[in-house]
Amino acid sequence: MDSQSQIDSYSNSNNLDEQAIFAGGCFWCTEAVFLALKGVKEVLPGYIGGKTLDPTYKEICTGETGHAEAIQIKFDSSIIGFNELMEVFFATHDPTTLNRQGNDVGTQYRSEVFYFDENQKKITQEYIDFLNKNFTFAKPVVTKISPVSKFYTAEAYHHNYYNRNQSQGYCSFVIAPKMDKLKHKFQSKLKK
């Protein structure tokens, strides 16, 4: 099943499964964070928001395709809501830096929420307004809010990357601290 068919099937399901697509820098980081949450059934790393058809990781790393590294999350809304996913998303990356997360620089590392319906758009905008109004960060949030477009699932070696490569340098120095923050701040939302 291709990515668009997956999006269509999730959107047309009659159960409590919903989906969200977030770009928050390196998808290895965001995938690890969201895989740990109760109610999250699946997290797929991939590419969205660009102009190149069927982009590869090598192509998007140039920053020339226009795609963001992103994750597509399938979740059970009776266990975790979109608003809770928003809370975790904004707490586990820096939404105030344009096209950058730490040492990862380029448009592919931008902060962006891709909404499936007007409710997700509204929740996202209200949450960003809340963060800015309350000066949650030292600088204003620059996260973009865009309608869902074609999502291309990343190559298989990117899937579940952190859990398969925890001793790798990037995982140890960049992802592990995010996971520690997640455990400290959102203990009640984590899978056992």
CA–CA dist 23, 109 (Å, integer): 7
**26 catalytic per annotation:** yes
CA–CA dist 27, 160 (Å, integer): 10
CA–CA dist 175, 169 (Å, integer): 9
Strands 144-147 and 111-115: parallel
Contact between residue 151 and residue 20 where contact means Cβ atoms under 8 Å apart: no
- Out of 26, 29, 61, 171, the active site residue is 26
Q: Is the dihedral of CA 25, 75, 47, 116 positive or negative?
A: negative
Structure tokens at 17: 């499964």
Contact between residue 44 and residue 18 where contact means Cβ atoms under 8 Å apart: no
The residues carrying an active-site annotation are 26
